Amino acid sequence: MKTIHKIVLVSLMLFVAGGIIVSCSSTKDKYTSVTNVEEEFKIEKSGAQLWGEACNRCHLAPSPADYNDTDWETISLHMRVRANLTEKEITKIEAFLKSAN
């Protein structure tokens, strides 16, 4: 009789432990999906906004009309590294700066 009680008790413990593991993994999936939704609905900043924020962080930002397109390409490459900007950010900033010429 004691053996049957032990088997039932162990089975019950494994069942409960399995439910906890499933519960934790589904919570993780819910958190991941919430994070994905937040990323999906992030408001994208324009090149002008990024230029104003990134360039004025360290120095007075020059007027977009101060340089020609070739100069802005060179400056953008240099400042991307210095300001730790992403490719997407620097592309938007460069397009904004070139639009003034």
User: What are the pLDDT digits (tens) for 42-94?
Assistant: 788 999 999 999 999 999 998 999 999 999 999 999 999 999 999 999 999 99
pTM greater than the 0.75 cutoff: no
Q: Report the distance separating Cα 17 and Cα 11, nearest Å.
A: 10
Q: How many CB atoms lie within 10 A of CB 93?
A: 30
Helix (H, G, I), strand (E, B) or coil at 36: helix
- Quickly state the pLDDT bin for 14 (edges 50, 70, 90): low
Is 52 in contact with 61 (CB distance < 8 Å)?
yes
Q: Report the distance separating Cα 44 and Cα 34, nearest Å.
A: 19
Query: Would you state the pLDDT for residue 22?
Result: 47
Query: Would you state the pLDDT for residue 13?
Result: 60
85: DSSP letter: -
Q: Higher confidence at residue 38 or residue 96?
A: 96
Q: Report the distance separating Cα 63 and Cα 74, nearest Å.
A: 16
Q: Report the distance separating Cα 53 and Cα 70, nearest Å.
A: 22
Query: Does residue 4 have a pLDDT over 90?
Result: no
101: DSSP letter: -
